[in-house]
Amino acid sequence: SFLDNFKRGDHITVKIRAFDGKDYSHEKYLSLEVLNTPPRIIDDGRFTFDGKNFIKVLGAEDPDGDEVRFTLLKGPEGMTLDEETGVIKWTVPEDFQGDVPVEVVVDDGHGGKTKYGFNIKLMIVLEEKKETL
């Protein structure tokens, strides 16, 4: 959105002028100061899975330069999220199959929070071995 270009301390003035199809109204001005902007979560889509351990790294940028903290809101039992680095780790139970919803929030400590969710989908793929006679 256009708000992505602003950060804490910026002043914004908007000129408003109504038009009824025939005439324009007098101009009105609305001014405000941006008090805080929420952080942005960065997900490049990459992850690693070695058949047992799932690892994914999320990043975050705060337009105001605030330090951010990650929190795991929703995930499977045993999943962890490092609050400083955004590293998600999960030891997947043996023979697990299905979809796992994951939801995190990143907080800038000044009221700016951003939620982010994704799904992990795991399925067992059986390979057929063919022998040549």
pLDDT tens digits for 22-79? Answer: 999 999 999 988 888 899 999 999 999 998 999 999 999 998 999 999 999 999 999 9
pTM above 0.85, yes or no: no
Over range 7-26, report the average pLDDT.
91
Quote the percentage of the chain above a pLDDT of 90. Answer: 72
Q: How many angstroms separate the first and last alpha carbons of the chain?
A: 64
131: pLDDT strictly greater than 80: no
User: Phi, psi (5° rounding) for residue 2?
Assistant: -65, -20
Could you tell me the domains of the chain? 2-33 (no CATH), 40-122 (2.60.40.10)
Q: What is the pLDDT of residue 122?
A: 86
